[in-house]
Amino acid sequence: MNNQILNLGKYQKSIDARLKKMHEQNFAQRLWNKDASLWNEGKLPNEISTISLGWLNAVENMLVALPEVEEFCNSKNIAEFSHIVLLGMGGSSMTPLVFQKTFNNLNKGIKLIVLDTTEPKVIREIEKKINITKTLFIVSSKSGNTAEVMAFYDYFFNQVYKIKEERAGENFIAITDKGSPLEGIAKRKKFSKIFINFPNIGGRYSALSYFGIVPAALMGVNVKEFLKRTQLMIKNCGPQIPLSKNPGIVLGASIAELALQGCDKLNYLMSPMLSTFGLWLEQLLAESTGKNGKGILPINGTPLSETATYGKDSFFLSMDYSKKDNTKSGKSTSFIPKNFPSINITIEDELDLGQEFFKWQIATATAGAILGVNPFDQPNVQESKIYTNDILKKIEQDGKLPEMEITLIEDSVRYYDSHKEKELTDDNTNGKILLENFFALTKPGDYIALLGYLPEEPEIQKCFLEIQSNLQESLHLPVTTQYGPRYLHSTGQYHKGGPNTGFFIQFICNSTDSIQIPEQAYTFDLLKKAQAIGDMQALIEHERKVILIDLGVDYINGLNAFKKVIKKIQPIAKTSTKTSSSNKKEKKKLEFA
């Protein structure tokens, strides 16, 4: 079993009281009986349709279905493939990404590549790595109509069709829900296999279902052992275990009670080999709890800094391999600030990750019940999609992206500010003034999110890390880094549905290699920009503070120029925490030139 130690300090007493109350309410029994009223007390039956608890039985069902999966993976046709490319987004891609990063160098199966970005450069890089006729494409979508996934499918199916024509479907399989549009496409195009997932499982709770297990099995992971180890955690989180000894429920009660007392920023201290598990957990927690002005925000990938830079809203999660295996341990527990609540988890090896998937699902469902939110829906995710679709329709009509009103051009970087409070001067300090005005509205308890619609490459990551450090040190606020469009299906829900404490800086760039999406009037580059602007509009509608920055074609130099501006920002004295009603009114409209 994985080892979990909670150091909760002054919060322990209130958490113990919470667990006692939950025991009196038969919480564990009701959870395992799939009692939807835990999350919808007093609501009508038609209001609880989004409560999806099929994931509680996913491992049991997956073990029954495993022979079919193994038979497919061991078939002669599969042996001919050299690569797997999974086309997914959000819940359908996050678990395979964990397997790709954690297991690819440990198994002798087919090499897995996960595509979950509309960035043209990344798509081209994948094409260079593979022999397209010897690549198996997994089209993975619960709804079967996820815009990004279907754009990926249209592009790569078209590429395979150019070579194999009517036999192109041999290079594709689908993982989806029963009756979805993707199921129909897969049948018409004669895909090699269609895996229909178990019912009543939301995307971010699908790690231990077909969505996670099929890609893992294809790349050679010992999924039978993986699932059997997970059963140990399932048993320990079961209704027969005393509540105070149930690791999942205790974890969920702890993080929820911390959040209710203002300690709602979960900072990661992850072993490098477990960093993508942090991405998976980020989606699970943020998208599940970020509603009704509440939520728990994971701070994934933040640089370590002096204890004084962390506010009272911070607590910490360290996760590492057992110290018995020094070749894998990242010693992430070596830095835990004193006097802050912390959760310390160690696992023996990669095959124990299934236990963590399940435990955190139990914890997140528990936290949602305590916070009074439905952890199984994502009401604000759709908003960005609607605005994006409106922009794509304008592109279809006009043949180009609608032009927005530019706030500032400095060092070839274009700034689009949704919140204009003070006039800019005519000298070369405009960027500094604009950003200082923007951050002057921050207060303790806020956070900053860097949202990059950029290639996720080392030089970009290095720049973001330096920007994070500078902002964290000057403002004493947590700073997250997210990549679009991935975050739209993850923390995007928290950004708009959680507490209004975020300051958002979006980054876009111009691709030198626009890739046309078959049968569409736009390229992947235009789709990416439409997604960024669409999310900006959704943030403005929720009266969030947001700046969009266009780095141009030379995005590395553009980001370095922005970094220099950030370094000039001085610590800001907080004089006001309120936004005037006139400013709020101005934020509700995104101006196009």
Q: What pLDDT digit, counting tens, does each position of 13-57 carry?
A: 999 999 999 999 999 999 999 999 999 755 545 555 678 999 999
Strands 342-347, 3-7: pairing is: antiparallel
**Residues 445, 550 within the same domain:** yes
From 199, 227, 255, the end of a domain falls on 227
**Residues 367, 385 within the same domain:** no
Judge whether 47 lies within some domain: no
Low-confidence ranges of the chain (pLDDT < 70): 1, 41-49, 104-107, 303-308, 323-335, 419-429, 571-593
Judge whether 44 lies within some domain: no
Encode pLDDT of 349-367 as tens digits. 999 999 999 999 999 999 9
User: What DSSP line would sit under 315-361, residue for residue?
Assistant: EEEEEEE-TT-TTT---GGG---TTS-EEEEEESSGGGHHHHHHHHH
Report CA-CA distances (Å) from 501 to 265, 288, 295, 504, 543.
Answer: 11, 18, 11, 10, 10
Query: Which runs of consecutive H residues, i.e. helices, occur in 90-146?
Result: 91-103, 120-129
The CATH number linked to 162 is 3.40.50.10490
**Residues 319, 271 within the same domain:** yes
Give the pLDDT confidence score for residue 332 in this predicted structure: 52
**Residues 166, 308 within the same domain:** no
Judge whether 38 lies within some domain: no
Does pTM top 0.75 for this prediction? yes
**Residues 223, 109 within the same domain:** yes
Cβ pair 122, 87 in contact under 8 A: no
Cβ pair 95, 62 in contact under 8 A: no
Encode pLDDT of 487-531 as tens digits. 999 999 999 999 999 999 999 999 888 899 999 999 999 999 999
Which SS3 state, helix, strand or coil, does residue 396 take?
A: helix
Phi–psi pair at 462, nearest 5 degrees: -65, -45
**Residues 420, 553 within the same domain:** yes
Range of the domain at 115: 55-227
Q: In angstroms, rounded to a whole number, what is the distance separating the alpha carbons of residues 531 and 539?
A: 12
**Residues 254, 178 within the same domain:** no
Cβ pair 467, 302 in contact under 8 A: no
The structural domain count of the chain equals 3
Quick one: tokens of 284? 């699970």
Which SS3 state, helix, strand or coil, does residue 421 take?
A: coil
Judge whether 265 lies within some domain: yes
**Residues 336, 354 within the same domain:** yes
**Residues 319, 404 within the same domain:** no
Beta strands per DSSP E along 509-556: 545-550
Judge whether 250 lies within some domain: yes
H/E segment holding residue 448: strand 447-452
Judge whether 40 lies within some domain: no
**Residues 367, 396 within the same domain:** no
Q: In angstroms, rounded to a whole number, what is the distance separating the alpha carbons of residues 165 and 161?
A: 4
From 371, 393, 425, the end of a domain falls on 371
Give the pLDDT confidence score for residue 306 in this predicted structure: 65
Instruction: Please give the DSSP secondary-structure letter assigned to residue 303.
Output: P
**Residues 131, 210 within the same domain:** yes
Give the pLDDT confidence score for residue 581 in this predicted structure: 35
User: Which has the closest alpha carbon to 451: 539, 366, 389?
Assistant: 539
Judge whether 36 lies within some domain: no
From 371, 399, 415, the end of a domain falls on 371
**Residues 159, 247 within the same domain:** no
Report CA-CA distances (Å) from 61 to 51, 64, 414.
Answer: 19, 5, 52
